[in-house]
Amino acid sequence: MYSGAAAGPPRRDFISVTLGPEEAVGVGGYNNSKAWRRRSYWRKWKQLSRLQRSVILFLFAFLAACGVISYTSMGEAWKSITNKSLDDQRTEQEILGLKLANPAVLPAPQKADANHGDYLELSLQKPPKPPHVRGPSNLQIKAPRRDTRLKTRPDTMRAVEELVEADKVEKTEKSVISWRGAVIEPDQSTEPPSSKITEPEKPSSVELEDQKEPMPINERQLAVIEAFRHAWKGYKDFAWGHDELKPLSKSYSEWFGLGLTLIDALDTMWILGLKEEFEEARKWVANDLVFNKNVDVNLFESTIRILGGLLSTYHLSGDSLFLEKAKDIGNRLMPAFKTPSKIPYSDVNIGRGTAHPPRWTSDSTVAEVTSIQLEFRELSRLTGDEKFQKAVDEVMKHVHTLSGKNDGLVPMFINTNSGQFTHLGVYTLGARADSYYEYLLKQWIQGGKKENELLEDYMRAIEGVKKHLLHRSEPKKLTFVGELAHGHFSAKMDHLVCFLPGTLALGAHNGLAADHMKLAETLTETCYQMYAQVETGLSPEIVHFNLHAQKGHKDVEIKPADRHNLLRPETVESLFYMYRFTGDKKYQDWGWEILQNFNRYTRVPTGGYTSINNVQNPSNPEPRDKMESFFLGETLKYMFLLFSDDIDLINLDKYVFNTEAHPLPIWVPA
């Protein structure tokens, strides 16, 4: 209670505001004029004590302040709710494969260091994205659509859950992989480092077509998926993280100790839509793949399988982890080029940074030094570091000028000191020379068909093949590619040569002579006969063709030392190209026969497939106990693509396959 001075009106310690009817209605009756009301309120106000007035004023002020504060914070909260739901929608859309109006882009070629002068200025088309941004490739493809048996959405959601888990573990990486569709970025040029900056092009109609829904998977493709899963099961159970599976002994073998099969198989899993397997393998790459190892690797093999595999997986998935790994291995392989001639050594110690030729010679194999270019050139384009491309371009320029060729055909060896061909006079399209020819054409395609020396060398070589190496067998008159040794023709043909029909067809598709396509057709038939004429329906490593008809003899003869089959891809590879370019279903049927025979004679019940020693003995093909990494990297991938009618599933106007079946972008797509 408040007790005030005795004199004066008593003070009240409460506020009483009574608005009775007599206050509202004046003596003169109802008067609701504004002036009257103002006067009346004012009178009331004046009647209040000072304390009462202060309290009322304070209350008004307090309420007004509260109003202002709550208005501002509600606005913020609303804004963040709205943004969050937009973000959520975006993530979900990406995960579900929906095209965004404003898609992320492939990280532009990155600057390796600041001092590359003119070259770099030309090479960089766009400022690099911040490293944490995982953009999809400008040539990213859609994972194929499965039919109802292979449920896409649950798969996707499971993959997402795993990814969330993985993210917790891998704090450094944000790893939501986008399984979304072909996104051809209108603002991305894929020009090589050495070419001029061009204005970004709008997506062509062909590019826009890429954004169509992928086709559903058919029965034969499902059979390939099943085969892949069976192979993968063996690898996972007995060889996880090692180079190759030994499916019979349920163990593994090491070559480089770098998880070769796993890396070789990454983009195949992507293309087949095997999301869970892919994610599991990705985790291994993120956590366990280490290149800082005191180990000798073969430059060619590690380039085509590891560097190529990582680069293509980067392009398909848009996941920068793979580019980082590619850069790492690419840098570690560079010491191979430190030779007197700049022709690289065959072997590099990727931990020590030293390189050397094989112990018995200072020669390198011609195919090996001329079939690493697609990968190193692409690495330069992506990183903005010219050194990779420079090193491999120099090799090609040098080989272009060399003497010792025979109408464009090259010998099999080249000396790392002198830079000259050695062992002159022997010419083959098989082992040690094969992919030299393949990469002439494919580099020309990769670079936008501008590098004329490559085309010249390719065209001349095919003329050389026609002139010196083509013959016909008896009795079926199959055209085959033999070998020439010091002027003597040999009717020997490696299975490896069966890459040639596919390459010829690719050249014809890119505008080269139409007779290349004719030759491709006849040679594909021959390669198929190398399977069909054998007891198991599987080709041996090497065949000899009969040049003269002999009673009871087929076209194909096999020597005991050559009757093994290593699960090689070349014939299936050519079948794939031929089907893509002709649409003739017989190529699919031939591939289907081959897949069934692989299943019959090379499949190991406990998981995996094995090389065999004897393709001529169906009752005992003599399993070798080894699954080569290229069975997953190449053979099954080409099978899957062969059985697809979707030309956008690795569109051949946008991608070029390296010699290990890893698709890399064509810099200036048709």
**The one catalytic residue among 277, 541, 628, 660:** 541
CB-based closest residue to ligand DMJ: 659
CB 661 within 8 A of CB 271: no
Cβ nearer to ligand DMJ, comparing 95 with 578? 578
Cβ nearer to ligand DMJ, comparing 103 with 569? 569
As a whole number of angstroms, the distance between CA 259 and CA 283 comes to: 13
Cβ nearer to ligand DMJ, comparing 135 with 663? 663
Among 568, 580, 624, 654, binds ligand DMJ (CB under 6 A): 568
541 assigned to active site: yes
CB atoms within 10 A of CB 569: 27
For 465-558, strand residue ranges (E) read 470-472, 479-481, 483-485, 488-490, 492-494, 542-545, 556-557
For 173-273, strand residue ranges (E) read 244-246, 251-253
Angstrom CA distances, 60 to 50, 69, 300, stand at 15, 14, 83
- CB-side exposure of 162: number of CA atoms within 13 Å? 16
Cβ nearer to ligand DMJ, comparing 615 with 668? 615
**The one catalytic residue among 244, 570, 634, 648:** 570
CB 379 within 8 A of CB 329: no
CB of 655 to ligand DMJ, least distance (A): 16
Residue partners of 418: CB distance under 8 A and separation at least 6: 340, 341
Cβ nearer to ligand DMJ, comparing 469 with 496? 496
As a whole number of angstroms, the distance between CA 442 and CA 455 comes to: 9
Cβ nearer to ligand DMJ, comparing 179 with 444? 444
User: Does residue 658 interact with ligand DMJ by CB under 6 A?
Assistant: no
Residue with tokens 């990454």: 266
What the block records as the tokens of 306 is 């590891």
**Does the annotation place 72 within a ligand binding site?**
no
Q: Which of residues 447-506 bind ligand DMJ (CB under 6 A)?
A: 496
User: Does residue 569 interact with ligand DMJ by CB under 6 A?
Assistant: yes
CB 357 within 8 A of CB 364: yes
Q: What is the 3-state secondary structure (H, E, C) of 395-425?
A: HHHHHHHCCCCECCECCCEEECCCCCEECCC
CB of 568 to ligand DMJ, least distance (A): 4
Among 660, 662, 664, 666, binds ligand DMJ (CB under 6 A): 660
CB of 457 to ligand DMJ, least distance (A): 18
CB of 298 to ligand DMJ, least distance (A): 10
Cβ nearer to ligand DMJ, comparing 325 with 568? 568
**The one catalytic residue among 191, 277, 378, 434:** 434
Q: What is the total count of residues that contact ligand DMJ (CB under 6 A)?
A: 8
Cis, bond preceding 214 (omega within 30 deg of 0)? no
**The one catalytic residue among 301, 328, 407, 589:** 301
User: Does residue 626 interact with ligand DMJ by CB under 6 A?
Assistant: no
CB 568 within 8 A of CB 659: no
User: Does residue 659 interact with ligand DMJ by CB under 6 A?
Assistant: yes
Angstrom CA distances, 459 to 227, 250, 438, 482, 574, stand at 38, 47, 11, 19, 19
Please state the length of the chain: 670
As a whole number of angstroms, the distance between CA 192 and CA 646 comes to: 28
Angle at which helix 373-383 crosses helix 320-333, to 10 degrees, equals 120
As a whole number of angstroms, the distance between CA 222 and CA 27 comes to: 97
Strand partners, 278: none
Closest CA to 95 of 5, 150, 9, 155: 155
CB 282 within 8 A of CB 263: no
Cβ nearer to ligand DMJ, comparing 166 with 262? 262
Closest CA to 200 of 184, 181, 212, 182: 184
Closest CA to 594 of 529, 541, 500, 504: 529
CB 585 within 8 A of CB 535: no
363 assigned to active site: no
Cβ nearer to ligand DMJ, comparing 270 with 630? 630
CB 237 within 8 A of CB 249: no
Measured at the CA of 370, the angle between CA 364 and CA 374, to 5 degrees, comes to 140
301 assigned to active site: yes
User: Does residue 630 interact with ligand DMJ by CB under 6 A?
Assistant: yes
92 assigned to active site: no
Cβ nearer to ligand DMJ, comparing 185 with 494? 494
Residues forming the site for ligand DMJ (CB under 6 A): 435, 496, 568-569, 630, 634, 659-660
Query: What residues are designated binding site?
Result: 659
Show which residues are catalytic.
301, 434, 541, 570
Query: What residues are designated binding site for Ca(2+)?
Result: 659
